[in-house]
A and B are shown apart, each in its own frame.
Chain A
Amino acid sequence: GENVEQHPSTLSVQEGDSAVIKCTYSDSASNYFPWYKQELGKRPQLIIDIRSNVGEKKDQRIAVTLNKTAKHFSLHITETQPEDSAVYFCGGGSNYKLTFGKGTLLTVNP
């Protein structure tokens, strides 16, 4: 089955800086890679996703890049704000079945 590794496990940045979270996957058949943000005590919220036929996708301050050859994908958050502080999970899979990374605790310091 799919195995998704996520790094770093914790990330602390100053407000206004950029944050990058990286994930690798093992199954070359995986074709869908979402990112979720989970605030304390709340449900995971889909923030951006990418399919394997696309190399990059951007939505305002958030972007995701995918390198199918190397089997890795990354989340980029620019101009970070304190409200970006949360746990971020990457996922990978196909046919709607997802395997998630262990998560990254992002702290944005004012």
Chain B
Amino acid sequence: SAVISQKPSRDICQRGTSLTIQCQVDSQVTMMFWYRQQPGQSLTLIATANQGSEATYESGFVIDKFPISRPNLTFSTLTVSNMSPEDSSIYLCSVVLRDAYEQYFGPGTRLTVT
């Protein structure tokens, strides 16, 4: 497996502001993803973070609200823009290591919007 870190681990933000979450992996990976987990709910895929190009978003998620960057193989950011209380969730990155199939999750960022 690999060591996956996320920053910040948690934050409390005012509505209308934006927060950028970072995901760093200590190994080279082929795929990086961003998920949302609302309180007591399942995991919902937001987008695939593509290295050096625009992310691929799932239905219901748009770039203006969740801009994503992935400048290299081991680092990605997710920004939650113009936040509302409905954005309060845990945001997790996940990775697929090179030459593997399994997907591993980061520790998550717990976001509360007031």
Q: Assuming the A-B contacts A43-B92, A96-B31, are A103 and B101 also in contact, with contact meaning beta carbons closer than 8 angstroms in the complex? A: no
The verdict on A92 contacting chain B, using a C-beta distance below 8 Å, is: no
- A1 vs B41: C-alpha distance when bound (angstroms): 20
Query: What DSSP secondary structure best describes chain A's contact surface?
Result: strand
**A interface residues, how many (CB within 8 angstroms):** 21
Interface residues of A in 12-32 (CB under 8 A from B): 32
Q: Are A43 and B106 in contact (CB under 8 A)?
A: yes
Contact with A along B56-67 (1 / 0, CB 8 A): 000100000000
Q: Are B103 and A89 in contact (CB under 8 A)?
A: no
Q: Are B43 and A46 in contact (CB under 8 A)?
A: no
Q: Are A44 and B105 in contact (CB under 8 A)?
A: yes
Chain A contacts for B33, CB-based, 8 A: 96-97
How many residue pairs link A and B with beta carbons under 8 A? The number is 45
Category for how many chain B residues contact A: 20 to 34
For the complex formed, measure the closest distance between the CB of A40 and the CB atoms of chain B, giving whole angstroms. 11
Say which residue of A42, A51, A98 sits within 8 Å of B103 (CB atoms). Answer: A98
Contact with B along A68-90 (1 / 0, CB 8 A): 00000000000000000000010
Chain B contacts for A49, CB-based, 8 A: 101-102
Q: Are A101 and B42 in contact (CB under 8 A)?
A: yes
Interface residues of B in 79-99 (CB under 8 A from A): 92, 96
Besides the contacts A100-B44, A103-B41, what 7 more A-B pairs have beta carbons closer than 8 Å? Answer: A34-B103, A43-B106, A96-B30, A96-B96, A97-B33, A99-B45, A102-B41
For the complex formed, measure the closest distance between the CB of A42 and the CB atoms of chain B, giving whole angstroms. 8
Q: Are B59 and A46 in contact (CB under 8 A)?
A: no
- A32 vs B31: C-alpha distance when bound (angstroms): 15
Q: Are A44 and B43 in contact (CB under 8 A)?
A: yes
Contact with A along B30-46 (1 / 0, CB 8 A): 11010000000111110
Chain A contacts for B107, CB-based, 8 A: 42-43
Chain A contacts for B102, CB-based, 8 A: 34, 46, 49
Interface residues of A in 36-77 (CB under 8 A from B): 36, 42-46, 49, 51
